[in-house]
């Protein structure tokens, strides 16, 4: 086989790189741990979904699998989604008092045997109503100005805790 | 794990959802679960739906669910969306278009990330199909990542493969290209309320008329989801076209795929580095070097 000129050499090199990259990607994709599954949704009548879309993108970039719904979901719809999608965390975006029905969501989740799912709320929640949500079982509340890291860290922690509890129970309730 | 398999076969929805998670994760638990589930499979009809992004696959599936429900069928959906090549995460939004069926007890929808797999599906898809089959769902609608030209795996995983096209995507040269067009069982021109639908359908028909007379000629069906047109003819074609022997075909395909990916996984970075050097420094042929690696 004759000598390579520079063009051949650079072509050969990029071919090799491509193959190598594919093999390394495959290896990376072989899951050591699977992504946390998160449902990002809005219940109630408010349709401002910019916030929930941004959060979905944050969590995607953090390596999570985000089941995203448009606004105007019903509580029973969210419960069925959480059941079928086997999510570990539910994030509810609320900008216009929809957080007031989050306790109802938590109750229906529990009735469906999903009381182990972590629920977080983000958006506008008056300070005076935080206790009402946390008493109902909301894991975290993110107000305006919450950072990407803060949100991602909380989802990581809550999701890992749910996964840990579930790994102890062979068959879900 | 056999308790979980039994609960799945008994039709408990929460257990089915959990089983899908276990199967997606892989490992020993998944292997044991799969083995038991396989004993209960072989009844479901698997319908593959593929096509380019934005062709309306999810909306069409939403309409198909409605039509199949009218026939009394219990319908499950696996909707695959791409995972991020950077983070491994994903935004799974297909079921957004199927929202009206969320509360129907005769419908089960699961969003699936492709988890780094190319080809429009995820590695776990055959196992997920088995679980839905074992759980007694009559029809499994399998939606690929937006793709469709060369991602032909779906044709082997599905009992009937539907390629969704739309008006205005390209000229008639597109219609004679090789790939998915050749292996689809049904060709759909969706969004046929848009201008150009008749032309797109005609181009597909002409492409088919050029085929040798002994090859199968898939039907071309025009559909429109907002007008609810063509959906019923699509459903009756599904039943007419579905091929038998799906369970074995899926297994065969899965084993070939696994074997191929095992070859690639066995290569260490060192080995590949050395192969690169032998191409760059010794001027050896790439395909020869690659074959040597695979044969190790």
A116 DSSP 8-state letter: T
Going by C-alpha positions, the residue among B7, B39, B254 that lies closest to residue A169 is B7
Which H or E run includes B75? strand B75-81
Which H or E run includes B232? helix B231-241
Residue B236 contacts residue B47 (beta carbons within 8 Å):
no
**Considering only A25-39, B29-43, B118-132, B231-245, which range has the smallest mean pLDDT?**
A25-39
Residue B110 contacts residue B92 (beta carbons within 8 Å):
no
In the structure encoding, which two tokens stand for residue B205, read together? 């028909």
User: Distance between CA A42 and CA A50 in Å, rounded?
Assistant: 11
CB contact under 8 A, A69 and B96: yes
Beta strands in A31-173 (DSSP E): 37-41, 65-68, 89-94, 118-123, 140-142
A25, A28, A60 ranked by CB distance to B91: nearest:
A60
B41-245: what fold?
Rossmann fold (3.40.50)
A63 DSSP 8-state letter: T
A120: Cα within 13 Å, side-chain hemisphere: 26
**Considering only B48-52, B95-99, B257-261, which range has the smallest mean pLDDT?**
B257-261
Using CA atoms, how far residue B47 sits from A123, B7, B139, B142, B217, in Å, is: 41, 25, 7, 6, 18
| A-B Cβ pairs (cutoff 8 Å, strict) | 142
Chain B positions touching A83 (Cβ under 8 A) are: 13-14, 17
B126: Cα within 13 Å, side-chain hemisphere: 23
CB contact under 8 A, A113 and B14: yes
Nearest-neighbour CA in chain A from B249: distance (Å)? 25
CB contact under 8 A, B89 and A3: no
Q: What is the pLDDT of residues B17-72, one digit of tens each?
A: 999 999 999 888 898 899 899 889 989 999 999 998 889 999 999 999 999 999 99
Which H or E run includes B82? none
Nearest-neighbour CA in chain B from A117: distance (Å)? 13
Question: What pLDDT was estimated at residue B245?
Answer: 84
User: Distance between CA A36 and CA A63 in Å, rounded?
Assistant: 8
Question: What pLDDT was estimated at residue B229?
Answer: 96
CB contact under 8 A, B92 and A65: yes
In whole numbers, what is the pLDDT of chain B averaged over residues? 88
Chain A positions touching B285 (Cβ under 8 A) are: 1
CATH of domain A2-170: 3.40.50.280
Q: Residue holding tokens 């899926």?
A: B250
Domain boundaries, chain B: 1-40, 41-245
Residue B164 contacts residue B60 (beta carbons within 8 Å):
yes
DSSP string covering B88-125, please?
S-EEE-GGGGGGGGTT-TTEEEEEEE-TT-SSSS-TTH
A12, A22, A63 ranked by CB distance to B286: nearest:
A12
Q: What is the pTM of this model?
A: 0.85
Question: What pLDDT was estimated at residue B19?
Answer: 96
Question: What pLDDT was estimated at residue A31?
Answer: 43
If one counts every other C-beta atom within 10 angstroms of the C-beta of residue B206, the result is 12
CA quadruple B28, B30, B31, B32: dihedral sign? positive
- Residue B157 in this model has a pLDDT that exceeds 70: yes
> Best of B14, B101, B261 to disrupt the A interface by mutation (most A CBs within 10 Å)?
B14
């Amino acid at each position: 086989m004759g000598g390579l000129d520079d063009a051949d050499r650079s072509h050969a090199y990029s071919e090799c790189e491509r193959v190598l990259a594919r093999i390394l990607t495959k290896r990376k994709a072989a899951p050591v741990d699977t992504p946390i599954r998160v449902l990002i949704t809005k219940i109630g009548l408010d349709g401002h979904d910019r916030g929930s879309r941004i959060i979905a993108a944050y969590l995607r970039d953090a390596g999570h699998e985000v089941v995203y719904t448009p606004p105007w979901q019903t509580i029973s719809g969210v419960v069925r989604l959480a059941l079928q999608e086997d999510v570990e965390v539910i994030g509810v975006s609320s900008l216009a008092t929809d957080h007031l029905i989050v306790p109802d969501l938590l109750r229906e989740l529990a009735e469906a045997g999903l009381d182990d799912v972590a629920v977080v709320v983000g958006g506008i929640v008056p300070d005076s109503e935080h206790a009402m949500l946390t008493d109902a079982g909301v894991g975290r509340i993110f107000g305006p100005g919450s950072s990407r890291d803060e949100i991602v860290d909380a989802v990581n922690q809550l999701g890992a805790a749910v996964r840990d509890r579930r790994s102890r129970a062979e068959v879900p309730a | 794990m056999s308790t979980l398999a039994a609960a799945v076969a008994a039709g408990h929805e929460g257990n089915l959802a959990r089983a899908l998670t276990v199967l997606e994760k892989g490992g020993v638990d998944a292997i044991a679960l799969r083995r038991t589930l396989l004993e209960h499979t072989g009844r479901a009809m698997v319908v593959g739906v593929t096509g380019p992004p934005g062709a309306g696959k999810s909306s069409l599936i939403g309409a198909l669910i409605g039509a199949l429900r009218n026939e009394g069928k219990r319908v499950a959906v696996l909707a695959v969306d791409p995972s991020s090549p950077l983070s491994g995460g994903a935004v799974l939004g297909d079921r957004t278009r199927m929202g009206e069926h969320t509360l129907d007890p005769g419908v089960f929808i699961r969003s699936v990330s492709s988890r780094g797999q190319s080809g429009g599906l995820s590695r776990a898809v055959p196992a997920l199909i088995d679980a839905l089959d074992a759980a007694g769902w009559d029809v499994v609608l399998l939606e690929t990542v937006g793709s469709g030209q060369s991602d032909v795996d779906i044709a082997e995983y599905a009992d009937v493969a539907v390629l969704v096209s739309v008006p205005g995507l390209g000229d008639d040269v597109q219609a004679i290209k090789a790939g998915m067009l050749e292996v689809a069982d049904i060709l759909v021109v969706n969004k046929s309320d848009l201008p150009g639908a008749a032309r797109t359908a005609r181009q597909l028909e002409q492409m088919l008329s050029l085929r040798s007379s002994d090859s199968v000629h898939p039907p071309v069906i025009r559909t429109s989801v907002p007008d609810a047109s063509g959906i019923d003819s699509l459903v009756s074609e599904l039943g007419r076209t579905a091929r038998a022997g799906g369970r074995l075909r899926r297994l065969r395909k899965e084993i070939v795929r696994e074997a191929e990916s095992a070859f690639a996984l066995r290569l260490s970075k060192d080995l590949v580095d050395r192969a690169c050097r032998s191409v760059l420094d010794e001027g050896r042929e790439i395909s020869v070097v690659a074959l040597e690696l695979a044969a190790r």
